[in-house]
Amino acid sequence: MYEKRSFTSIVKGVWIRILSILVQFTFPAQVTVFFHRMRGVKIGKGSKISRTVIIDDSVPDMVIIGKKVWVTAGVQILCHQRELSNHKRGLAVMDNPLVYKKVVIKDGAHIGIGAIIMPGVTIGEGAVIGAGAVVTKDVPPYSIAVGLPAKVIRTFDA
């Protein structure tokens, strides 16, 4: 079942996807940040985003990145996923509704290479996400989270 979309929403979707392709060819990080801001991502001053970062194409305006955040190569930030609580045999996964939740990465955080940030997650100020981690729950400020799913292994004194 497809929902009817307005001409404006279709044009916006195409624009967002064109910019996400162009981002892959940007350099330096300030230009990459500029393109993501054009897509609707809210990004604070002094933040750096690698050009190979994938930020949700459906609702990039639901991603909020604070000041002096570093998002390294290969990171994926997602704001939507299928609601599978009522999934059952004989039902296609795509028949389940999409759920949209914002992602917030607070000031001074560092997201390691290849990490995946799932919808609805808040990463606290000064937190570090290890390479390859899959973050499914909030990460407290000034802590290190690693693994699949990501777990806090250390917290720093504030």
Tens of pLDDT, residues 80-105: 999 999 999 999 999 999 999 999 99
Distance separating alpha carbons of residues 111 and 96, to the nearest angstrom: 30
* Architecture of the domain defined by 7-155: 3 Solenoid (2.160)
- pLDDT tens figures, 48-72: 999 999 999 999 999 999 999 999 9
pLDDT of residue 100: 96
Instruction: Output the pTM of the full model.
Output: 0.92
d(C-alpha 129, C-alpha 126), whole Å: 10
Farthest-apart Cα atoms in the chain, separation: 51
pLDDT of 42 over the 60 cut = yes
The DSSP bridge partners found for residue 154 are 144
Q: Which pLDDT score, from 0 to 100, does residue 127 have?
A: 98
Binned at pLDDT 50, 70 and 90, residue 5 comes out as confident
73-87 as b/e: b if 16+ CB within 10 A: ebbbbbbeeeeeeee
For residue 149, what pLDDT is reported?
Answer: 97
98-151 pLDDT per residue, tens: 999 999 999 999 999 999 999 999 999 999 999 999 999 999 999 999 999 999
Q: Compute φ and ψ for 3, nearest 5 degrees.
A: -90, 145
Residue 64 buriedness (CB in 10 A; 0-12 / 13-18 / 19+): middle
DSSP output for 13-33: HHHHHHHHHHHTT--SHHHHH
Sheet containing 76-77, strands listed edge to edge, beginning at the edge strand earlier in sequence: 54-55, 76-77, 116-117, 134-135
